[in-house]
Structure 1
Amino acid sequence: MIQRATERALAAGGSLRASLDMVERIRPHVSAPIVIFSYANPLLRMGVAEFARRAAGAGVDGVLALDLPIEEADAFRATLSASDLDTIFLLSPTTTDALYGISRLGVTGARDCVASGAEALVRRIRAQTTMPIALGFGISRPEHVAEVGAYADAAVVGSALVSLIAEEHTSMRLLDTVEAYVRWLKSPCVEAERR
């Protein structure tokens, strides 16, 4: 799902530079943290130091390089950290006692329910760190966000948003449609905060 979105973005002329330019334009209007979600190669092609400089200047808060193994990331982390950018790594259900938690094995994509071991995974991660924990993979409905929000700090909705954008990409109301979907996803959390 994410790979297809990457292919569509590249075919439409998208690039890492264009993404950073877009972040710079929207940053004044967005208070939520902005994370660049990328494969490592585009970051390496730009040069990690140049990427870190540009990303920090644009207002990026963190970077998730999908295919960058944590054990090979020391120089990458140091360069990003020097520009005050957080490095985010993926954890999976097969990670042992060791921070985007992947709630299930398999490929990305919307699911009918949150993975049965998701809460236990978050408990394992919390035993190792005090850092905020975001949980993703298959989250696509308000009840998923509410469930994950009960034990994690954030719910990551990736494939469902990518699918919505793919379906509506020619619509003049694309941004309104995405905003309405995100509001719908957040609705149980907003209601809980009001209580």
Structure 2
Amino acid sequence: MGKVKLEKALQERLSAGEKIFSPFIMAGDGGLDILPDRIKFFEENDAAVIELGIPFSDPVADGPTIQAAGSRALANGTTLAKVLDILEVTKLERAIPVVIMTYINPIIAFGVEMFAKMCAKAGVDGVIIPDLPMEEERLVAEALSRRDIAFVRLAAMTSPQERLQELAKRTEGFLYAVAVTGTTGARREHDAYVSTFLQELKTYTETPVLAGFGVSTGEQARALSEYGDGVIVGSKVVQLLHEGNLAEISQLIAESRSLKV
């Protein structure tokens, strides 16, 4: 379980000559009761890993689509504790790795040690904390490490080389390459520098490098995956789930998985 499960799942995809596809879904958007079915849907459609967002009242990294999903989830009474409870009850029903994306405030409010303990009990394989700077990550890193939970770091295009190298060295599971300068959200195109950025990160780590933020089409996934190891698709998936358009999500996953290493 945990970090080993995540690393093994991603390496199996790359060894098979495939690129990695990871959907982002907002826990509680549409009701917490449907979360197990949504996880099962992505597992059946052969996604590699699920990034599961925890709704928060001040989501500084999120664009309008994911903010709206978070607001709907909060209105449904979704909390970090409730999400972990559901994941614990259903952990034996899923094989796909689950990585939680949450901000630091809910973790502090929950209690760092309790958060790590409950994540382990719930079968959570990794954690992403977008608003926790590297200099302060000791707040949670040790607690996660003791329970074999991967601490996935984010790398931004605006960071200096030395910082990117250190983030790449520290990351676990995969390195989350932020492919835009801004918040999440579907975009028509990415900055020309992104390809250079992804290639640079690949020289710093043997851990898979996944590009996220702004990926919304198979064409974009193909372009970004050419230079990295795969993509994380958030806003587009969240919007399609809200619309009930599962067919288009299946098509997007199929297009992304067909990319060759």
Q: TM-score w.r.t. structure 1 length? A: 0.84
- 1:152 equivalent in alignment to 2:219: no
- 1:83 equivalent in alignment to 2:159: no
Q: What code does the residue aligned with 1:22 have?
A: I
SS in 2 for 1:89: strand
Show the counterpart of 1:184. Answer: 251
SS in 2 for 1:138: coil
Per-residue deviation, 1:192? 4.8
Aligned length: 184
Measure, in 2, the Cα distance between the counterparts of 1:106 and 1:115: 12
SS in 2 for 1:188: helix
Per-residue deviation, 1:146? 2.1
Measure, in 1, the Cα distance between the counterparts of 2:94 and 2:191: 30
Could you report, residue by residue, the CA deviation over 1:133-190 in whole angstroms, capped at 9, with x for unpaired residues? Answer: 1111111111222222222223111111222234x3xxxxx4xx34x33321122344
Show the counterpart of 2:71. Answer: 7
In structure 2, relative to structure 1, the CA distance for the partners of 1:24 and 1:181 (3 Å cut) is farther
Q: What code does the residue aligned with 2:87 have?
A: V
Tell me which moved more, 109-118 or 45-54: 109-118
Show the counterpart of 1:46. Answer: 110
CA RMSD of aligned residues (A): 1.9
Per-residue deviation, 1:43? 1.1
Show the counterpart of 1:128. Answer: 204
- 1:109 equivalent in alignment to 2:185: yes
Measure, in 2, the Cα distance between the counterparts of 1:38 and 1:18: 14
CA contact under 8 A between 1:103 and 1:117: conserved in structure 2?
A: no
CA contact under 8 A between 1:145 and 1:186: conserved in structure 2?
A: no
Tell me which moved more, 12-21 or 111-120: 111-120
Q: TM-score w.r.t. structure 2 length? A: 0.65
Q: Percent identity?
A: 34
Alignment of 1:19-34 (within 5 A): 19-34=83-98
Measure, in 1, the Cα distance between the counterparts of 2:90 and 2:195: 33
Bigger relative contact order (CA 8 A; separation at least 6): 2
